[in-house]
Amino acid sequence: MSWRDFWNGSHSIYVNARHRALHFDMIGKDIGALVPARDAIVLDYGCGEAGSAEMVAARCGEFYLYDTAPNVREKLRLVYGANPKIHILNYETLEALAPASFDMIVINSVIQYLSHGEFERVLDVCHAKLKPTGKLIIGDVIPKTSDAIGDTKALLDFALKGGFLVAACWGLVATFFSDYRKLRSSIGLTRYAPDEVLTLLSAQKFHAVRAPHNIGHNQTRMMFIASPKLEATGLP
Ligand SMILES: C[S@@+](CC[C@H](N)C(=O)[O-])C[C@H]1O[C@@H](n2cnc3c(N)ncnc32)[C@H](O)[C@@H]1O
């Protein structure tokens, strides 16, 4: 099984409904706060089930959701198909959008599942589809120094504050026997030193800085804010 198969399959990464609700409330608020303007056109790249899509859509002009997993897109269509501000893309419809379509693209908790080469290809697409004045947000990047213990601590802290500690403890036991844990130890997750991300972004024609906070509950992970280098956009 690959990460692609895993995300296209049925899995439960939330320990209960409260965990899921608090997770999406937090990432919805964090992404919403990054939206540059009320009329901004925003893309969530690798959006997953996008449980906070309505919250983010309310903060921007148009909200686009893109995910490689066909089953994820099918569920998104059922949930958000009737919302006129939310648009669900597949690779072909994303490719077909005009260059410089977006004011902001957010990629949250995705690049750990990609090889460096795949990440570079994603950055190429983002560079082409982002306006010269747009910004690219890359969140939940796992530092090289991080391990499963850091993620466990962050989850337990989130659960303690959120009132789902017992469920989180049972969830950790279930995770131990899950496909997620097996894939994490066999294929692994791609980790980055902060400078590696900045160097990669620079090579892909972005100026970038590391942000002081990450999207979501796990502050051991990193967020980067990037903008296209002006010399690479053809603007004076
Ligand atoms: C951990 S989930 C993150 C979902 C969401 N961004 C969030 O923060 O809740 C990772 C998602 O990235 C998607 N994904 C993985 N590789 C991708 C790629 N190359 N392009 C777009 N989506 C991808 C997976 O299908 C999965 O839904």
174-206 residue pLDDT tens:
888 888 888 888 888 999 999 999 999 999 999
Number of domain units in the chain:
1
Q: Is the shortest distance between the CB of 110 and ligand 1 below 6 Å? A: yes
What CATH number has the domain bearing residue 11? 3.40.50.150
Does some domain include residue 129? yes
Does some domain include residue 80? yes
Structure tokens at 209: 């800085």
**Given pLDDT bands bounded at 50, 70 and 90, which one contains residue 236?**
low
How far the first Cα of the chain sits from its last, in Å, is: 48
Residue 85, pLDDT score: 98
- Nearest ligand 1 atom to the CA of 106 is 6
Domain interval for residue 103: 3-230
- Nearest ligand 1 atom to the CA of 67 is 22
Region 108-120: mean pLDDT is: 96
**Region label for 195, one of left (φ > 0), alpha (ψ between -120 and 50) or beta (otherwise):** alpha
What global pTM score does this model have?
A: 0.94
Does some domain include residue 236? no
Q: Is the shortest distance between the CB of 47 and ligand 1 below 6 Å? A: yes
Residue 235, pLDDT score: 57
Pinpoint the alpha helices (H) of 69-115: 70-80, 91-96
Does some domain include residue 235? no
51-82 per-position pLDDT tens digit: 999 999 999 999 999 999 999 999 999 999 99
Which DSSP category does 99 fall into? S
Least confident of 92-101, 128-137, 181-190: 181-190
Q: Is the shortest distance between the CB of 113 and ligand 1 below 6 Å? A: yes
Least confident of 36-45, 106-115, 170-179: 170-179
Does some domain include residue 89? yes
Does some domain include residue 125? yes
Task: Determine the distance separating the centroid of ligand 1 and the alpha carbon of 23, expressed in angstroms.
Answer: 15
Element (H, E) at 210: strand 206-210
Does some domain include residue 121? yes
Angle (deg, nearest 10), helices 179-186 and 165-176:
60
- Coil, helix or strand at residue 103: strand
Region 114-138: mean pLDDT is: 97
Does some domain include residue 75? yes
Mutate to test the pocket of ligand 1, among 5, 6, 7 (most ligand atoms within 8 A of CB): 7
User: Residue 213 and residue 232: Cα distance in Å, rounded?
Assistant: 28
**Whole-number mean pLDDT of the chain?**
94
Residue 184, pLDDT score: 84
